Amino acid sequence: MTDVQHTPDAEPARVTLSVPAKSAFASVVRSTATGLAARLDFTIDEVEDLRIAVGEADALMLEVAAPRASLDTVFTLAPGFIQAQLTVATVPGAELDINSFAWQVLNTLADTCTHDTVDDTITLTLTVTSALSDLLER
């Protein structure tokens, strides 16, 4: 069983990760996501889909990152549910390429995927729910 305890009245668990916005550190974010999904009893295929989705999100965010920026990720966890919220400071006027192949892959693999720009900061939020989530809540 999972180490993440959740009751209907409990706050979801949160894991915060901050790495330099450089491609060399993208694997740290992907590895963290997959480790968390495994601890939440996601299936092997769901863990792999999440790894790919977070990798695509990383790639999109790194394209617009300002020099010396950090990529901040907050994972929100509940049984059968992971939300990854990635935030990066951008170069002025930068926008995510929502017509890219990476965006299409991300939207295919995640249950939901949104992005928001405030000043020169972009936040991308994706959620993934396990097919086993109904069983985990019982």
Give me the domain span that covers residue 33: 13-133
Q: For residue 4, is it within any domain?
A: no
Residue 1 lies inside a defined structural domain of this protein? no
Does 129 fall in a domain?
A: yes
Report the predicted TM-score, pTM, of the whole model to 2 decimal places. Answer: 0.87
In this structure, is residue 8 part of a structural domain?
Answer: no
Structural domain total, the chain:
1
Q: In this predicted structure, what is the pLDDT of residue 132?
A: 75
User: Strand 13-20 and strand 81-89: pairing?
Assistant: unpaired
Which of 100, 61, 64 is CA-nearest to residue 84? 61
The answer to whether residues 41 and 80 touch, using CB atoms and an 8 Å cutoff, is yes
State pLDDT tens for residues 93-102.
Answer: 999 999 999 9
Contact 72, 88 (CB under 8 A): yes
**Could you tell me the pLDDT band of residue 133, with boundaries at 50, 70 and 90?**
low
> Could you tell me the CATH number of the domain that includes residue 105?
3.30.565.10
Q: How far is CA 36 from CA 48, 69, 84, 99, in A?
A: 12, 25, 11, 29
